[in-house]
């Protein structure tokens, strides 16, 4: 029995001596300092050593190395000298990375099944006053549009608060900047198109009341990018409820309803906003488009004319008036063609011509305002001029359509 104990003591002594020898470069750096980048390969090599990888001391020493490098830049800040901002923040991150690793290893139970937190207090005291620097780093990189590093620091700031090492600081309940940090993390993920992680800290980010509009915008667009149309619609609706005057939610929800053929929903949505602000031009126009899509041409004409009376520069409103008249005419024209001998044919044909004449100035105005949008105005003016026997104008449009067809063939 004594032999076994002696062997265990000897083995422990050998491992300890081995560890102390391997840790010498770290201790030397803590004493003398230097370029932390040159030490990193040594730290990484020690971490991959099977005999050392679970030793809390290794990670505590690595954290101290980062603190040594950090203190160099921190001293420059204190003395108001030029300092390396990125190095200042990266060494802060390194300190937190390794104290958290140290605490994780320190929590591994010993052979007796008990946990002896030898380094908990040391690690906590080493970094707790540096915690605000993680937030400052997040701001720094976000403003620099370095969103990858922004995410990295915001994530460390938020995740550290959940770790047992910082439990006594109760950061989640005492740090009022947590929701803002969660929002900035969301923003950085969104900007770098990491749409899946936009939602990671949503429970916190929603508490940042100053950015409610962007919170729902980021979530809605992210769901759209992830091809989840139901959640996309849900976020737009929730955004509308929270920010009813933010046109982002209205316009995108209208587009979604129109694209999916939910015109009744579109109309109800437009009416709900007009109930809050009857003079909102963009909403009036959106409603006119819905009425057009629903083939409610009389109401579309009436509303579009109202829009033009308020703002004659609304190009598309000219089209919707003209096209509504045009569509009313073609419905009648197509219906009477099979019965040209009917008694009502002449009267109905006159209605067609009257409607085409009403459409003409609006479509011609649209053509003048948007000459390149031939796909819209050319076919309608072609039929209109043909029916009204306007030979010169018809020949002009015929030439336009012929050239357009030739260009398509070349493609």
Question: Does the pLDDT of residue 122 top 70, yes or no?
Answer: yes
- Do the beta carbons of residue 220 and residue 236 sit within 8 Å? yes
Q: Which residues contact 357 (CB under 8 A, 6 or more apart)?
A: 388
20-49 pLDDT per residue, tens = 789 999 999 999 998 999 999 999 999 999
pLDDT score recorded for residue 398 = 93
Confidence of residue 404 (pLDDT cuts 50, 70, 90): confident
pLDDT score recorded for residue 94 = 98
Task: Please indicate whether residue 15 or residue 273 has the higher confidence score (pLDDT).
Answer: 273
231-287 pLDDT per residue, tens = 999 999 999 999 988 999 999 999 999 999 999 999 999 999 999 888 889 999 999
Confidence of residue 410 (pLDDT cuts 50, 70, 90): confident
- Do the beta carbons of residue 87 and residue 73 sit within 8 Å? yes
Question: Does the pLDDT of residue 116 top 50, yes or no?
Answer: yes
Confidence of residue 9 (pLDDT cuts 50, 70, 90): very low
155-177 pLDDT per residue, tens = 999 999 999 999 999 999 999 99
pLDDT score recorded for residue 19 = 55
Q: Which residues contact 230 (CB under 8 A, 6 or more apart)?
A: none
Burial 97-109 (b: 16+ CB within 10 A, else e): bbbbbbbebbeee
Question: Does the pLDDT of residue 180 top 80, yes or no?
Answer: yes
Question: Does the pLDDT of residue 301 top 70, yes or no?
Answer: yes
Count of helix runs (H) and strand runs (E) in the chain: 21, 0
Q: What pTM was computed for the model?
A: 0.84
Question: Does the pLDDT of residue 8 top 80, yes or no?
Answer: no
Task: Please indicate whether residue 110 or residue 44 has the higher confidence score (pLDDT).
Answer: 44
pLDDT score recorded for residue 261 = 93
Confidence of residue 408 (pLDDT cuts 50, 70, 90): confident
340-379 pLDDT per residue, tens = 888 899 999 999 999 999 999 999 999 999 999 999 999 9
Question: Does the pLDDT of residue 17 top 60, yes or no?
Answer: no
Dihedral Cα 210, 216, 217, 222, nearest 10 deg: 130
129-142 pLDDT per residue, tens = 999 999 999 999 99
**Residue 283 Cα to chain centre, angstroms:** 25
Percent of the chain with pLDDT over 90: 86
Locate the domains of the chain by residue range: 20-130, 300-411
Cα(56)–Cα(74) distance, integer angstroms: 26
Confidence of residue 2 (pLDDT cuts 50, 70, 90): very low
pLDDT score recorded for residue 204 = 96
The mean pLDDT of the chain is: 92
């Amino acid at each position: 029995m004594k032999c076994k104990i002696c062997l265990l003591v000897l083995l422990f002594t050998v491992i300890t001596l081995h560890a102390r020898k391997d840790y010498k470069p770290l201790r030397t750096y803590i004493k003398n300092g230097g370029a932390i980048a040159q030490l990193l390969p040594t730290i990484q090599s020690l971490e991959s050593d099977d005999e050392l990888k679970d030793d809390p001391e290794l990670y505590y020493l690595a954290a101290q190395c980062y603190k040594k490098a950090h203190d160099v830049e921190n001293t420059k800040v204190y003395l108001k000298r030029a300092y390396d901002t990125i190095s200042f923040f990266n060494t802060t991150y390194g300190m937190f990375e390794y104290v958290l690793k140290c605490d994780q290893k320190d929590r591994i139970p010993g052979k007796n099944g008990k946990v002896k937190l030898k380094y908990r207090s040391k690690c906590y005291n080493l970094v707790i006053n540096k915690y605000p620097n993680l937030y400052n780093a997040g701001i720094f990189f976000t403003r620099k549009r370095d969103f990858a590093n922004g995410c990295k620091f915001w994530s460390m700031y938020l995740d550290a608060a959940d770790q047992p090492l910082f439990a006594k600081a109760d950061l989640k309940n005492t740090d009022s900047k947590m929701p803002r940090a969660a929002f900035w993390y969301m923003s950085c993920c969104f900007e770098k198109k990491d749409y899946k992680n936009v939602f990671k800290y949503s429970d916190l980010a929603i508490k940042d009341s100053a950015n409610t509009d962007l919170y729902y915008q980021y979530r809605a667009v992210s769901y759209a990018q992830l091809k989840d149309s139901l959640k996309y619609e849900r976020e737009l609706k929730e955004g509308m409820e929270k920010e009813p005057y933010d046109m982002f939610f209205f316009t995108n929800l209208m587009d979604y309803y129109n694209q999916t053929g939910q015109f009744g929903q579109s109309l109800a949505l437009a009416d709900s906003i007009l109930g809050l602000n009857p003079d909102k031009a963009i909403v009036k126009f959106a409603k006119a488009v819905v009425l057009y899509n629903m083939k409610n041409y009389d109401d579309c004409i009436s509303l579009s004319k109202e829009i033009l009376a308020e703002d004659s520069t609304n190009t598309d409103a000219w089209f919707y008036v003209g096209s509504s008249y045009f569509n009313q005419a073609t419905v009648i024209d197509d219906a009477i063609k099979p019965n040209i001998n009917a008694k009502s044919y002449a009267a109905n044909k006159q209605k067609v011509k009257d409607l085409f004449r009403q459409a003409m100035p609006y479509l011609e105005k649209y053509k003048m305002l948007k000459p390149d949008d031939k796909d819209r105005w050319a076919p309608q003016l072609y039929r209109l001029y043909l029916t009204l026997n306007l030979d010169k104008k018809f020949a002009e449009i015929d030439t336009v359509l012929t050239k357009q067809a030739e260009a398509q063939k070349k493609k």
